[in-house]
Amino acid sequence: MPEPLKQSEIDKGQDPSVTKQWDDNVSLEQKMKDFGAIADHLKIGIMGSLREGVGPVGRAMAVAKRSGPDFLFLANAHSQKFSDIEQNKVTNVYFHDSTTQDWISVTGETVVSSNDDKRIKEVYTQGVKAWFGDLGDGKHDGGPEDPRMKLIEVKAKYINYWQHATDGEGFGKEIQEAIKSGKVANTGSLRKLDGKEIEEARSKYGDMSSSS
């Protein structure tokens, strides 16, 4: 239900859409369960890199593997994203579900693998070939041993996400009631993970094999 705007929120310069939905008093296990449910359902996120002289640049990327708070992506070594990463290793991966409005934002540091990383074969699927093409030279064939095939690992440093608490109809009613009453809509849970929580999540729920 919508909640009244408080004078204390004004005095403290707070954003009531955050304070009303803030839900950080839950276990790490629950945070990771809900985080994983959103990410694994969507499968494709927008990876943002920082390009020198331009700023943030994003592109859609299919997740090859999620391991706890971290993500692995297959990518073409000829893509400009690699030169972006070489200049600045900070990356953001964003997921959004337009049906439920659930979203996830993962900010982390990128690690680029060599072409002989054994995990390439572990996560490779035939569908990847459609995005690489086959030159017919027995080498650049879009397969796992194609020299263009590399991995980008995003090791999370900060995660925040929002999970819906009502269905589409309930969401709309909440918004309309908030508008009419002057109260603030409360439609879900806003949470974050950083620092020690991410390290603990990586230790407990991560299984990203090494590149060796």
- Which of the two residues, 86 and 209, has the higher pLDDT score? 86
- CB atoms closer than 10 angstroms to residue 89: 16
Nearest to 112 by CA among 141, 72, 142, 80: 72
Tell me: the pLDDT tens digits for 146-167?
999 999 999 999 999 999 987 7
- d(CA 210, CA 212) in angstroms, rounded, equals 5
Domains of the chain, by residue range, sit at: 26-166+191-205
Tell me: the pLDDT tens digits for 35-70?
999 999 999 999 999 999 999 999 999 999 999 999
Q: How many CA atoms lie within 13 A of 122 on its CB side?
A: 15
Give the model's pLDDT for residue 209.
64
Give the model's pLDDT for residue 210.
53
- For residues 1-23, one letter each, b for 16 or more C-beta atoms within 10 angstroms of the residue's C-beta and e for the rest, the string is ebeeeeeebeeeeeebeebbbeb
Give the model's pLDDT for residue 183.
85
Asked whether the whole model's pTM tops 0.85, one would answer yes
- d(CA 159, CA 69) in angstroms, rounded, equals 8
Which CATH topology does 26-166+191-205 take? Answer: Pnp Oxidase; Chain A (2.30.110)
Longest CA span, the chain: 70
